Copies of this chain bind each other. A is one copy, B any other.
């Protein structure tokens, strides 16, 4: 085996960057032995010196100016781990223009500037790897590229935000939303500002990255239906469980009738769906393809060492392969409109506790030809104001069900915030 030398520069020594530094120091000899690749960290960059001190990085191996790395002729691979999109794009641009391979864990960068980065790369023939941008340590990008893409990918569904999943798991133990977020912060599974996690935007970034990887299609965030978990109550989780479901925040991408359906929202997932049992801080991505059928990958979606391990696997991959795969982007598909989504639905609606109110609601559903599968009306054991009624509908259009809900909202005895969630019944 001929030893291949690979020189890298790490830009950003936050949690992931520090993890990459640690793993490479610890595993350099093992990686040489296993893969015949000698990875040398030429230089690290950060605007602060605190990680430099902690990791005992020498002055000669450290810089505060990323250009010292992106323009170093000895550097083969630039690893961008600063997060954000502005400076991260500048780094990527400079690295690619200087003929480097690029590795990033930055889903926001890929979601917002991925097309520009691809354009730059196409001029140099160099590659980009981004395993850590989706599912943290879970090797899903590599698996899709190496093993699943042979087949036509039909759809993916993923639990791709550990914060939301942890919060929902706590809520299924009757802890309310705000308390669950606090507990998640205390346990280290949620940032102090977890807005991007909770509102679904972080998951949406990952959906964009997966749409590109699975289908070769560019999606813009603004064209996606994105809903977070803010309106879920522990009562919803409780009712769902009694009905044989769990509620999960899903990132979904699928090709349907020559359209791309890409969206993020909480959904009811049947308890025998493998995604239903992905709890706490874990992530999982289920990919359905023509010959393979359903395939799911499960593991830690965040954390220093899991995510850093994914970055290290990217370095090895980029060093072993002559060229990245070229995902066919010939076809441009227009976006599928969420209004057209046909699904069973979970509807929670609060009614004043008077006789006849439920009858009025069901008759509105009847007017829109929305068939009811099940109704739960449990006064007493809920913390929601009024009497919450849970209705499971049979298959109908999102648009039609929303119309019915808008009509219900105009009634005096109906509470302000009905909750409507699709039911994902099949794998």
Copies in the complex: 2
Interface secondary structure of A, over-half rule: mixed
> Which B residues lie within 8 Å of A328 (CB)?
30, 33-34
**Assuming the A-B contacts A34-B328, A148-B139, A327-B34, are A291 and B309 also in contact, with contact meaning beta carbons closer than 8 angstroms in the complex?**
yes
In the complex, chain B residues whose CB is within 8 Å of the CB of A293: 137, 299-300, 303, 305-306
Give the contacting residue for A305; candidates B19, B138, B292, B316; CB below 8 A: B292
Q: Please tell me if the beta carbons of B150 and A139 are within 8 angstroms of each other in the complex.
A: no
**Bound complex: CA A150 to CA B307 (Å):** 13
Which residue of B2, B290, B321 is within 8 Å of A321 (Cβ)? B321
**What's the least CB distance linking A85 to chain B, in Å?**
27
Contact A326 to B276, CB < 8 A, known contacts A142-B147, A306-B292:
no
Contact of A150 among B27, B36, B300 (CB under 8 A): B27
In the bound complex, what is the Cα–Cα distance between A308 and B274 (angstroms)? 23
Which among B131, B142, B151, B325 is the interface contact of A309 at CB below 8 angstroms?
Answer: B151
Closest chain B CB from A261 CB (angstroms): 22
A27 to B299, CA, bound (A): 31
Closest to A323 in B: B1
Q: Which residues on B sit within 8 Å (CB–CB) of A34? A: 149-150, 325-328
Cβ-defined partner of A313 (8 Å) among B19, B30, B146, B317: B146
Residues of B within 8 A of A138 (CB): 295
Binary flags per residue of A167-194, CB closer than 8 Å to B gives 1, else 0: 0000000000000000000000000000
- Closest chain-B Cβ to A280's Cβ sits at a distance in Å of 9
Interface string of A311-337 (1 = CB under 8 A from B): 011001100111101111000000000
Other-chain contact of A312, B36, B150, B297 (Cβ < 8 Å): B150
Among A31, A274, A279, A290, the most chain B Cβ lie within 10 Å of the Cβ of: A274
Q: Closest CB of chain B to A188's CB: distance in Å?
A: 14
Mask: chain A, 136-171; 1 = CB below 8 Å from B; 0 = not: 011100110011111100000000000000000000
6 further contact pairs, Cβ within 8 A, besides A23-B150, A292-B299, A293-B300: A30-B150, A137-B293, A142-B146, A274-B278, A291-B309, A295-B298
Query: Top 3 A-B pairs ranked by shortest CB distance?
Result: A139-B147, A291-B305, A295-B299
Interface residues of A (CB under 8 A from B): 1-2, 19, 23, 27, 30-31, 33-36, 131, 137-139, 142-143, 146-151, 272, 274, 276-279, 282, 290-300, 303, 305-306, 308-310, 312-313, 316-317, 320-323, 325-328
A-B contact pairs, 28 of them (CB 8 A): A1-B323, A19-B291, A23-B151, A27-B150, A34-B149, A34-B326, A137-B291, A137-B295, A138-B295, A146-B316, A146-B317, A147-B310, A150-B316, A151-B309, A272-B279, A291-B305, A291-B309, A292-B309, A293-B303, A293-B306, A294-B298, A294-B299, A294-B300, A295-B297, A296-B296, A297-B298, A298-B298, A321-B321
